[in-house]
Structure 1
Amino acid sequence: MQISTVEIEGLSIAIREAGPPEAPAFLLLHGWPQSSYAFERVISRLAADYRVVAPDLPCIGGSQGMPRAGDKRTLARLMRGVAEACGLRHLVVAGHDVGGQIVFALLRDHPEILSGAVIMDVVIPGVAPWEKVIRNPRIWHFAFHAVPALPETLVSGHQSAYFDFFFNVLSKDGASIADDAREIYARAYSRSESLQAGFGWYRAFPEDAEANAKWAGKPIAVPVLYLRGAAEPGEIGDYVDGLRPAGLSKVVGDIIADSGHFVADENPEALAIRLARFHREISAASSEPTGRRA
């Protein structure tokens, strides 16, 4: 595995990459409060057959430079730049948590670069069951992270303790997220601008919801897989059923066993197997004669 950087719109984006340069590709997008390291063990399992690139989102970890905003349209455009800079072909983009919200924006704004997409363990702003989720008192951090300046003030210097709360509460077994991984994630947000960038993703939710609502119902033909950890609260059917009227006509859902919210950390083998299977299914469907497709 190689760690390098690409320059996109004046930002330096750190990437982990592995696999044959001309192979079908995955672009893996992490969420909060993680970095590209979340996919370390997934990448190693996919790299024999696929080109795999996992960036640190702008201003997180090894990525330098603050994007102009945290809205998912802006981040999707930057991730399209990463895909193009890396020359990714037959691309499936897979995003976890906030990364999954970026995947939805890519589907909405840049479907032409995608062969398929995977959204993992996240609700999409403005898309059912969004209203139900944001009313849930267990999701208190959505509102807290959106408060201007206060989260940075309180979390700065306490990243490890704060992030540990979420790793322990949202995973099936907190021990599945190793101490060294937790340390890497805390360091990824150790700079004040990194915390600001991460909380900025939450502050942009109203803008994201408005953009998604304006798009609602317009068809998106890209095949989409929605994944959820078996121990993640909520019914997967609510999420898949919400995505269909939002335009995803080819969306299916599946469960990753022995996992809560942090599927890449908790069960990387099962996740890698399911991602590879999805890529194979897309390739097989695209190679069928038009008259034979369902």
Structure 2
Amino acid sequence: MPRNVGMVDIKLVRSGNLEIAVRAAGNQDDPAIVLLHGWPQSSRAFLRVMQHLADEFYVLAPDLPGVGGSRIPAASGSKSLLAGHVRDVIQASGARPVVLVGHDVGGMIAFAYLRHFASELRGAAIVDTVIPGLEPAWSKVLSNPRIWHFAFHAIPNLPEVLVLGHQRAYFDFFFDAISRDRKAIPDEARDAYARDYERPDALRAGFDWYRAMSADAEENKKRIAVTTPVLNVRGDAEPGPMSDYLQGLSASGLAQVRGEFVEGSGHFSADEAPDALARILRRFARECIGAV
């Protein structure tokens, strides 16, 4: 089958009553890397990363339910529920073997996938995020006044009322505050992310991810036993010691965990340093899948 390197197609995949828009690049016969975005982004965040990886991997990046082209929100923001929808996408796409990568909220979903379906993955990378309930990082995040938005987004209805119609300005605050270089996220990308959340249902879907985090934390406190290799990835300008995140992941029951930094990046690694992130993911996927 001829390769489609550099070209990214969009297809719709069914998951229960949802239609999920999935960006796809590469050859379906190749090992797969599945990329999950976070807030306030969409699968668009991974476009340049996908183009870097499509020469060797079948690369999939879904819009999470309710966001962008996936117009129907999930029943809740539960990360376990969302992991089930991601599983449907993977199975419907015929992707295998699979390395799952999640950024921000996508990383929380990747952890939930490990909790429930670890045997179906060759590896998982958790990028630029804290996992609800895993200490000591979780308590430090909740008590950090710079991360005030976790509590605000969890309030019912109010965030939608205040942000709807102003999402570009609201998102800009975060892009500017927690990126290493705000210029690394251009106006074109910021405009696109604002459009991806311009519908009330899209905003609700994003804020629901935060509303579910208390329940996610309780679920994640139950120890698991997972031997799937896991890579914790953080931008080198992200605050907080890597050791806090590795400690929590290991204590949760993940037997093979290590960390790596993305050079020249803050929180939004796929936008800020796509070349560096792609190199890390390529190397990790080769190790997990046994590619040469």
- TM-score, normalised by the number of residues in structure 1: 0.95
State the partner residue of 1:192: 200
Work out the CA distance in 2 between the residues paired with 1:70 and 1:62: 18
State the partner residue of 2:228: 222
State the partner residue of 1:290: none
Checking the alignment, whether the CA contact within 8 Å between 2:31 and 2:289 is kept in structure 1 is no
The aligned length equals 284
Checking the alignment, whether the CA contact within 8 Å between 2:123 and 2:230 is kept in structure 1 is yes
Task: Report the 3-state secondary structure (helix = DSSP H, G, I; strand = E; otherwise coil) of the residue aligned with 1:119.
Answer: strand
Task: Report the 3-state secondary structure (helix = DSSP H, G, I; strand = E; otherwise coil) of the residue aligned with 2:64.
Answer: coil
Work out the CA distance in 2 between the residues paired with 1:147 and 1:51: 39
State the partner residue of 1:266: 272
Alignment gaps of 5+ in structure 1: 288-294
State the partner residue of 1:251: 257
- Code of the residue aligned with 1:106 in structure 2: it is Y
Tell me how far 1:66 sits from its aligned partner.
1.9
State the partner residue of 1:48: 55
Does residue 9 (structure 1) correspond to residue 10 (structure 2)? The answer is no
State the partner residue of 2:210: 202
Equivalent residue for 1:177, pick from 173, 185, 191: 185
Does residue 237 (structure 1) correspond to residue 222 (structure 2)? The answer is no
Work out the CA distance in 1 between the residues paired with 2:64 and 2:290: 31
Q: Once the two structures are aligned, what percentage of the paired residues are identical?
A: 54
Work out the CA distance in 2 between the residues paired with 1:280 and 1:7: 29
Work out the CA distance in 1 between the residues paired with 2:171 and 2:251: 34
Work out the CA distance in 1 between the residues paired with 2:273 and 2:221: 33
Tell me how far 1:133 sits from its aligned partner.
1.1
State the partner residue of 1:77: 84
CA RMSD of aligned residues (A): 1.1
Work out the CA distance in 2 between the residues paired with 1:112 and 1:220: 8
Tell me how far 1:284 sits from its aligned partner.
3.4
Work out the CA distance in 2 between the residues paired with 1:262 and 1:99: 12
Does residue 155 (structure 1) correspond to residue 163 (structure 2)? The answer is yes
Tell me how far 1:283 sits from its aligned partner.
2.7
- Deviation string for 1:20-72 (max 9, x for gaps)? 11100011000000000000000000001100000000010010212111110
Work out the CA distance in 2 between the residues paired with 1:118 and 1:9: 26
- Code of the residue aligned with 1:175 in structure 2: it is K
State the partner residue of 2:45: 38
- Deviation string for 1:125-156 (max 9, x for gaps)? 10011111101111100000000000000000
- Deviation string for 1:235-289 (max 9, x for gaps)? 111101111010111010000000000000000001111100001111339x9xx
Checking the alignment, whether the CA contact within 8 Å between 2:179 and 2:272 is kept in structure 1 is yes
Checking the alignment, whether the CA contact within 8 Å between 2:12 and 2:20 is kept in structure 1 is yes
Work out the CA distance in 1 between the residues paired with 2:233 and 2:63: 21
Runs of 4+ with deviation above 4 angstroms: none
State the partner residue of 2:132: 125
Checking the alignment, whether the CA contact within 8 Å between 2:67 and 2:73 is kept in structure 1 is no
